[in-house]
């Protein structure tokens, strides 16, 4: 890759796209079911999108919310937001309306760009988004013609005004669930994202312009956004965009596009194994299969290797680290069960409750420091102070252990975070919704192992006096107010919840009973 990229002097992925388009203008940047686009064409599209955003008065200090799938529009919009000097707020398309409303309003986004699947729902919320000046919709013929369309706005040959930005300027507000029951916006600077793009391109993940990368995970997720999109643009790799995961359709895409790198998550590999498709699939072009966003069960790694000859590489990260921290690709050989060794420029400590380093083989909280560590939580100095030490260490809340070879193994989590399909869910966020149903006096939600999603949510509810809980109605209430992956897979009505002497719920007992 060009030496300039490794020096860290190019401020963000939009600037890197300009350099890559100059170096590899005819190289294919994007492929999707409807066509393909070269890097020169993508650069021109981003310039046009930047002009469109600037016509909507988007500039430095603004935030632009993106509710888009893994599509060319997401790529164009994300790069254009940065090129205009603003910050993106990527929001998952599967979020419930209340969750989308919260993210848009909390971020103070002034422009909302939404895809076809959520356009109608968000236009209904238009009056409840006081900071949003403009809603731009991916082209839909059956909507109000007064609503701006992305295709129409970006149909221009005009040159955008150049905006100079610094490494410390905000690039993205990425929402991650918090212990308070509401997501918090992790502030990632342009330098944070650029640093982690370079850090990721190490070890066996040294992708080049010859690689073809499968991107099927949501681009609104920091893993796909920065490890996938950001790193690929940095080196000029080809990205194959698949909007939804279907086991056979994705294997067909791998074969048809001769994919060399699969950027995946545990549910993908589990689904492939359960489908039986790997018996006849041609994965001969794949040189690297990666899993991130959630722990991958060791038996899955072994079974996948037996069928394909590919050892799945794992990594560990979190939104607040942009996201990558360690990877098995950094070790001489991947060790199933481990999440590998730190990426270049990442410092890692394991500490006890008093902040002292623990010894080899001992459990401790994982602390991380490096140029990829975030600036803090949006409008939440208290949470920021709890997460970051004065000398820049990020307290991850994860408990790990390192062996004699420096390999990191994740043991547990200090908090009650549950990871479903690679997405963070805090029980109190789900409990808050259960308690608004008008049926529930107390609620407790815990995680439990699940063969497909890694973990699932189990809810225990105590009814209000003289109320008989209708579980089906309660499930419907959750489906209305929560994203699908945050919905409990079981709800059990109980007379009481186990508590400590001070009234705190003893989740350990619920996990053991479950």
Domain membership of residue 280 (yes or no) is no
144 pLDDT more than 80: no
328 pLDDT more than 80: yes
8: pLDDT confidence band, cut at 50, 70 and 90?
very low
Q: What is the DSSP string of 8-52?
A: T-S-SHHHHHHHHHHHSTTSEEEEETTEEEEHHHHHHHHHHHHHH
Q: Which domain holds residue 451?
A: 418-513
Q: What is the pLDDT of residues 445-472, one digit of tens each?
A: 999 989 888 899 999 998 887 889 999 9
Residue with token string 């699939």: 281
- Domain limit, last residue, from 198, 233, 263: 198
Domain membership of residue 139 (yes or no) is yes
Number of domains observed in the structure of the chain: 2
The answer to whether 97 and 135 have CB atoms below 8 angstroms apart is no
Domain membership of residue 323 (yes or no) is no
pLDDT at 142: 63
pLDDT at 315: 93
CATH number of the domain at 31, please: 3.40.50.12780
pLDDT at 334: 86
Top pLDDT among 432 and 201 is at: 201
CATH number of the domain at 490, please: 3.30.300.30
Domain membership of residue 109 (yes or no) is yes
2: pLDDT confidence band, cut at 50, 70 and 90?
very low
Domain membership of residue 345 (yes or no) is no
Give, for 29, the enclosing helix (H) or strand (E). Answer: strand 28-32
Domain membership of residue 294 (yes or no) is no
Q: What is the pLDDT of residues 391-436, one digit of tens each?
A: 999 999 988 999 999 999 987 667 677 889 888 787 878 888 998 8
181: pLDDT confidence band, cut at 50, 70 and 90?
low
pLDDT at 4: 33
CA-nearest of 418, 424, 423, 425 to 449 is 418
- Domain limit, last residue, from 152, 173, 198: 198
CA-nearest of 437, 424, 401 to 485 is 424
The answer to whether 402 and 328 have CB atoms below 8 angstroms apart is no
pLDDT at 468: 93
Give the number of other Cβ atoms within 10 Å of residue 50's Cβ.
30
Q: What is the pLDDT of residues 95-112, one digit of tens each?
A: 989 999 999 999 999 999
pLDDT at 292: 87
Give, for 334, the enclosing helix (H) or strand (E). Answer: none
pLDDT at 336: 86
pTM: 0.84
Domain membership of residue 66 (yes or no) is yes
- Domain limit, last residue, from 165, 198, 231: 198
**CA–CA dist 62, 55 (Å, integer):** 13
Domain membership of residue 104 (yes or no) is yes
Beta carbons within 8 Å of 511's beta carbon, 6+ residues apart: 446, 447, 448
190: pLDDT confidence band, cut at 50, 70 and 90?
very high
pLDDT at 252: 97
Q: What is the pLDDT of residues 216-237, one digit of tens each?
A: 999 999 999 999 999 999 999 9
The answer to whether 91 and 104 have CB atoms below 8 angstroms apart is yes
333: pLDDT confidence band, cut at 50, 70 and 90?
confident
Q: What is the pLDDT of residues 30-88, one digit of tens each?
A: 999 989 999 999 999 999 999 999 999 999 999 999 999 999 999 999 999 999 999 99
Of 3-17, 341-355, 388-402, least confident by mean pLDDT is 3-17
pLDDT at 299: 78
pLDDT at 514: 62
pLDDT at 3: 37
CA torsion 295→300→302→304, rounded to 10°? -120
Top pLDDT among 275 and 3 is at: 275
Mean of pLDDT over the chain: 90
Top pLDDT among 353 and 160 is at: 160
140 pLDDT more than 90: no
DSSP code, position 359? P
pLDDT at 287: 96
């Amino acid at each position: 890759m060009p030496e300039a990229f490794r020096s860290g002097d190019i401020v963000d992925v939009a600037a890197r796209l300009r350099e890559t388009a100059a170096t590899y203008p005819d190289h294919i940047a994007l492929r999707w079911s409807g066509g393909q686009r070269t890097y020169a064409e993508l650069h021109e599209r981003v310039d046009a999108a930047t002009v469109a955003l600037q016509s909507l008065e988007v500039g430095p200090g603004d935030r632009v919310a993106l509710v888009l799938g893994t599509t060319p529009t997401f790529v164009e919009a994300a790069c254009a937001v940065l090129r205009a000097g603003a910050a993106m707020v990527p929001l998952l398309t599967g979020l419930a309306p209340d969750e989308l409303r919260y993210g848009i309003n909390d971020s103070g986004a002034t422009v909302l760009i939404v895809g076809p699947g959520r356009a109608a729902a968000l236009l209904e919320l238009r009056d409840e988004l006081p900071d949003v000046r403009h809603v731009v919709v991916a082209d839909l013929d059956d909507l109000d013609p007064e609503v701006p369309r992305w295709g129409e706005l970006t149909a221009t040959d005009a040159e955008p005004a150049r905006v100079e930005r610094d490494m410390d300027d905000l690039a993205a507000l990425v929402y991650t669930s918090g212990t308070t029951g509401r997501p918090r916006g992790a502030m990632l600077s342009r330098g944070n994202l650029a640093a982690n793009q370079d850090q990721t391109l190490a070890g066996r993940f040294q992708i080049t312009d010859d690689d073809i990368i499968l991107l099927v995970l949501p681009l609104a997720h920091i893993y796909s956004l920065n490890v996938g999109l950001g790193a690929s643009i940095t080196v000029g790799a080809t990205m194959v965009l698949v909007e939804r995961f279907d086991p056979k359709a994705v294997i067909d895409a791998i074969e048809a596009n001769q994919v060399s790198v699969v950027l995946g998550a545990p549910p993908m590999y589990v689904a492939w194994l359960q489908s039986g498709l790997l018996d006849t699939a041609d994965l001969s072009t794949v040189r690297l299969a990666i899993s991130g966003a959630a722990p991958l069960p060791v038996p899955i790694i072994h079974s996948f290797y037996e069928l394909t000859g590919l050892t799945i590489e794992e990594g560990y990260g979190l939104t607040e680290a942009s996201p990558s921290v360690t990877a098995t690709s950094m070790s001489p050989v991947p060790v199933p069960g481990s999440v590998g060794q730190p990426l270049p420029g990442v410092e890692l400590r394991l500490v006890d409750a008093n902040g002292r380093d623990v010894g080899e083989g001992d459990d401790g909280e994982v602390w991380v420091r490096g140029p990829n560590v975030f600036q803090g939580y949006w409008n939440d100095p208290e949470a920021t102070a709890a997460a970051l030490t004065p000398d820049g260490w990020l307290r991850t809340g994860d408990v790990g252990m390192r062996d004699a070879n420096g390999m990191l193994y994740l043991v547990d989590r200090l908090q009650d975070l549950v990871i479903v399909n690679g997405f963070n869910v805090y029980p109190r966020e789900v409990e808050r919704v259960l308690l608004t149903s008008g049926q529930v006096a107390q609620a407790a939600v815990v995680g439990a192992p699940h063969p497909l999603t890694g973990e699932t949510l189990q809810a225990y509810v105590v009814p209000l006096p003289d109320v008989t809980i209708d579980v089906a109605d309660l499930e419907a209430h959750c489906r209305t107010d929560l994203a699908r992956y945050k919905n409990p897979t079981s709800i059990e009505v109980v007379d009481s919840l186990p508590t400590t002497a001070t009234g705190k719920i003893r989740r350990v007992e619920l996990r053991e009973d479950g």
